[in-house]
Structure 1
Amino acid sequence: MFNRLRTINKNYALQLAAIFIGFIVFGISENVKGPAIPRIQYDFALDEQQLGSLLSLNALGYMLACSFTAFLTRKFGVKLVTLVAFGSMVISGVLIFFSKSYTFFGASYFLMYIGNGMLEIALAVIGARIFVRNVGTMMNLSHFFYGLSSTVAPMIASGLITVSVYGHVLDWRGMYLIMLSLCLIPMIPTLLSKFPGDDAADGPRTGFRELMRDPALWLLALILTFGVVAELAVGGWLVNFLEKAYAWKNVSASGMLSAFFLCFAGARLLLGPLTDKIGFNLSLLIFAGVSSICTFIAVWGGESLAFLFAAAGIGIAPIYPTVMAFIAKRYPRGSESAITFTVTLMGIGSVIFNYLIGAIAQFVKNTYGADTQIGLLRGLQAGYGFIGLCLLLCAITGVILYRYLSVRKELI
């Protein structure tokens, strides 16, 4: 009995290592792009709309991966899928390093987002399977490691870009090679772990059609979409905004992005127990509403209020893990299908909204004068203001979900 208990504890420790380190490298892969994007834009001579199209294309890869990962998980097990996700991200880092043309780079970046999408689903499924108590706290704790790595990733990336090795500057290509190679580390505990649900069925599962008939799942998908679009857009646009709108140096702008993720990580570490206490429904609408207000004030309040860009991370942070915890609680026998549906819809939204951010910024910039500073400023404000609008829509959808479940006495 003692040996069995020790085996279970050892396996659980390996599971936690796999999911926690997995979120660390996930955060790194997602958020080193902040310091890199202005240089990528310069090297390939991209305007704001083309940049938005690049990010939108990668969101498409992310969405495609999310759409087929649940099927692969059921067929081959979450362990193998997680290993493949990590491996594809390492390979994409090598390909990005050797990319010289925009087409080759775009394909390599696309592969990285395929890996990101697979990892997104895999880690969510692992969390839904192994966290059976204090789900909100444990989901937020897991995603805290994403926020932690996201805090330091822009600063490390900004430093690595300027590092010289044997007389050659690493630049953004070398930075991606080094950072994505870190995905080799969580492959070790993943390889040594055994995950529940991989060896045998865990009882009858809730069918996909049955899930699709639940309006609450559609509302959760919309909340996740608006919230995560805002989260990812900050990583892609904040440094660009501060450098071009306020002439901040890259190190200072990257520092603000790191401050955003510091607030982001702290919120996930500290607010998890609060979401369990006040309920997932109420948490979602409060956090999204506060972040939308911070974002709008930061965009239109001028440089002196730029710190609110970072403060917005406090409310954005709990949205994703709280939705995942919500799904784990509401759909315990169909979490894989529910996660796939919500994250796939989120991917579709990312494709559309990332393009819209760039298109809106370019349109307003042209309206005020494409070659003028005021045109550039107004364009960037309009594009980033759209991020605030996404957060506002997230809060409004949270209110609708609250009212829908409250009437049915199904609040969580």
Structure 2
Amino acid sequence: MENLNLTKKSILLPYLIVFTGFLVFGFSENVRGPAIPRIQSEFAIDELQVGILLALNSFGYLLACSFTGVLTTKLGIKLTCLLAFGSIAISGVFIYFSNSYFTFSFSYFYMYIGNGMLEIGLAILAARIFTKNTGFMMNLSHFFYGLGSTVAPLLATGLMGWHVYGGGELGWRGMYVVILSLAIIPMIPTIVAKLPGNSISAEDRMPLKVYVRDPIAWLIVGILSLGVTAELSMGGWLVNFLEKSYDWSSTASASMLSVFFFCFMLSRLILGFITDKIGFLISLIIFSGVAGFSVIAAIVIGPSAVFLFALAGVGIAPIYPTVMALIAKRYPNGSDTAITFTVTMMGIVVVVANFLVGAIIDLFRHWFTNFSGEEIGLIRGYQAGFIFIGLCAIFCSLISVILYRRLQKVNQIL
């Protein structure tokens, strides 16, 4: 077991890995917004097939979550992180050479295996090193995810339009190669860093069966699952919605997604202080509720209220890091087990939810097309899909209320 009494110099490297790792994760996860309309056009796929693609991606993420906890135990956190970064970088090459919807789906699936490994690995590493001001530090680390997510849509749009040697555009394939190759950068400090091992002895660690029997654990799963569904759905569908419902240009749509993630990023930087002050659960109740009502209001009011999508980003942003902080505080002797199980269960819900968003859009599109024509049908389909996204955030808030009341009865408010 590695010594936890690290020198000041060696402490900086784990922090650097977490921060740059989340930055790369933000890039890899959110360049898809501007790319999806072009991918959809090239492979001639409809919204349901896009939903299936995103669900398959979430399944790859889920698969990685299910075995990454074991990897960290068997191979150590350092090698696990290196494998995650390497998988993300290699997936860019696979995406570039994909010549059909099937091969592209496989390549994207592989990328999300890397994303899942990275998220679990970084979450475990963060739980080990952020022992003070946990709420703030978790939000700060995820601020870098927000920073990567903010830059990603504009960077993706710019790169896709780049003219390379010979006069052709880089396109969405080349864009993925360039951006995913950035995963090589955090591999450097990972190689040289001395990372903390698990300080809890095997006898003192909380067994998985004990965690699974805890009703609180399942409420946490529900909160995280619904919050992340809203987050990923906004990142995956907002550009498509603006282009196809409001006739926005690809640049304007990508800019709006960047505004969403800019607010998302600032929220994680600023609101981390608030979560430590008012408590994790009160924060979750307020922020997820604001996010849900903002999304639904943006849809109901129409194009003049698109700024409410940015406000939704403010509310959605603190959910994931706040839940991670909650887990670290409530289960100090089993944070690795708790994080792995919770994120794995979340992955199952997100797989279903990604499919549902696409299916809802497609269902309402066809239904309204029969009565009002194809153009109105498409708009109504996207509106229905985004109302579902808003409801996910609202139910996240409601489950947080249930958890708050349950812990309040036993005087264990977090």
**Aligned counterparts, 1:349-364, within 5 A:** 349-364=349-364
Superposed counterparts of 1:1-400, under 5 Å: 8-166=7-165, 167-197=167-197, 201=201, 204-369=204-369, 372-400=374-402
* Aligned partners of 2:163 and 2:169 also within 8 Å: yes
Tell me, in whole angstroms, the C-alpha distance in 2 between the residues paired with 1:265 and 1:360. Answer: 29
Amino acid in structure 1 at the alignment position of 2:29: E
Letter paired with 1:284: L
The TM-score normalised by the length of structure 2 is 0.97
- TM-score when normalising by structure 1: 0.97
- State the partner residue of 2:410: 408
Q: How many Å apart are 1:104 and its aligned residue?
A: 1.2
Partner of 1:410, secondary structure, is coil
Tell me, in whole angstroms, the C-alpha distance in 2 between the residues paired with 1:125 and 1:115. Answer: 15
Deviations, residues 7-37 of structure 1 (Å, cap 9, x unaligned): 6111111011100000000000000000000
Deviating more after overlay: 307-316 vs 365-374: 365-374
CA displacement, residues 282-327 of structure 1 (integer Å, 9 cap, x when unaligned): 1111100011110000111110001101110001000000000000
- Summarize deviations over 1:114-154 as a string: whole Å, max 9, x none: 00000010000001000100000000000000001110110
Amino acid at match of 1:40: I
Give the CA deviation at 1:243.
0.3
CA contact (8 A) 1:331 1:338 kept: yes
Residue 362 of structure 2 aligns to which amino acid in structure 1? Answer: Q
| Partner SS, residue 105 of structure 1 | helix
Change (3 A) 1:141 1:244: same
Amino acid at match of 2:293: I
Structure 1 runs of 4+ off > 3 angstroms? 4-7, 198-203
Aligned-residue offset at 1:101 = 1.5
Number of corresponding residues: 409
1:244 & 1:293 partners in 2: Cα distance? 23
The 10-residue stretch of structure 1 (294-303 or 365-374) with the greater mean CA deviation from structure 2: 365-374
Distance 2:224 2:200 in 1: 30
Query: Is the 8 Å Cα contact of residues 93 and 181 (structure 1) preserved in structure 2?
Result: yes
Identity, in percent, stands at: 57
Q: Displacement of 1:168 after TM fit?
A: 2.2
Specify whether residues 389 and 6 from structure 1 end up closer, same or farther in structure 2 by C-alpha distance, changes over 3 A only: closer
Stretch moving more, 93-102 or 203-212: 203-212
Shift of 1:6: 11
User: What's the RMSD between the two structures over aligned residues?
Assistant: 1.5
Matches of 2:23 and 2:6 in 1, distance apart? Answer: 26
The separation in 1 between residues aligned to 2:295 and 2:8, in whole angstroms, is: 43
Long gaps (5+) in structure 2: none
- 1:160–1:175 Cα contact (<8 Å) kept: yes
* C-alpha separation in 1, matches of 2:293 and 2:200: 47
Answer yes or no: is the 8 Å Cα contact 1:294–1:309 preserved in 2: yes
Maintained 8 Å contact 1:19/1:127: yes
- Return the alpha-carbon distance in structure 2 between the equivalents of residues 404 and 5 of structure 1: 35
Residue 198 of structure 1 and its aligned partner are, at CA, apart by 5.8
Change (3 A) 1:202 1:293: same
- The separation in 1 between residues aligned to 2:155 and 2:126, in whole angstroms, is 28
Partner SS, residue 181 of structure 2: helix
- 1:396 partner amino acid: L
Question: What SS does structure 1 have at the residue aligned with 2:290?
Answer: helix
**Structure 1 CA distance for aligned equivalents of residues 129 and 19 of structure 2:** 13
- Distance, in Å, in 1 between the alignment partners of 2:145 and 2:346 is 18
Cα distance in 1 for partners of 2:248, 2:47 equals 18
> Residues 202 and 266 of structure 1: is their aligned pair in 2 closer, same or farther, counting only changes over 3 Å?
farther
Aligned partners of 2:89 and 2:184 also within 8 Å: yes
Distance 1:85 1:5, change over 3 A: closer
Question: Partners of 2:100 and 2:82 in 1: how far apart?
Answer: 29
Match for 2:207: what amino acid? G
Distance in 1 between the 2:226 and 2:369 partners?
A: 30
**Letter of the 2:136 counterpart:** T
**Deviation digits for residues 363-412 of structure 1 (CA, Å, limit 9, x no counterpart):** 11111116521111100000111100100110110010001100011111
1:78–1:198: 8 Å Cα contact kept in structure 2? no
Structure-2 separation of matches of 1:37 and 1:300:
25
Q: Distance in 1 between matches of 2:76 and 2:335?
A: 15
* Displacement after TM superposition at 1:199 (Å): 9.0
Please tell me whether the aligned partners of residues 88 and 111 of structure 1 are also in contact (alpha carbons under 8 angstroms).
yes
